[in-house]
Amino acid sequence: MNKRMTALVGILLVTASLAACGQKQTAPTPQPTTPASTAPPAASPTASPGAAAGGNAPEGAGSGSQTAQAESLFKAQCIACHGADLGGGVGPNLQKAGSRLSEADVKNIVLNGRGGMPAFKGNLSDTDIQALAAWLAAKK
């Protein structure tokens, strides 16, 4: 009887965790904090794209604002299942997602879901999904 109770509690915990990942949430659209006329100059052509945001984004990872947008989206939409450090949990580890998935693959998974992951098509804008896909694909 005790083993049955333990198994039931385990099943309920897994079910609750998966249900939390499937909840529809919308992330607020990040708003610029600096008017365009007083924005700082763009990073020099020799600087990496992530340098302007203080990050160390690899070539092709997108602009600093796209990186910040993706990080914000990840915190709002993905952290519950993939962990604050992208190390996984309920969902898989994404720390090196770009070494096994292309940007198009990531975008397709975010749009349509896969396995226990819900689809975010209709919950996130195309711009948000693209920013998230580029950011995760750059994780190598």
Residues flagged as binding site for heme c? 78, 81-82, 117
Q: Max CA-CA distance within the chain?
A: 70
The CB-side HSE value for 100 (13 A sphere, CA atoms) comes to 6
User: Is residue 107 a contact partner of residue 133, using CB atoms and an 8 Å limit?
Assistant: yes
How far is the CA of 8 from the CAs of 2, 5, 13, 19, 116, in angstroms? 10, 5, 9, 16, 20
Residues that constitute the known binding site? 78, 81-82, 117
Task: Tell me the CA end-to-end span of the chain in Å, nearest whole number.
Answer: 47
Q: Tell me the C-alpha distance between 138 and 31, whole Å.
A: 24
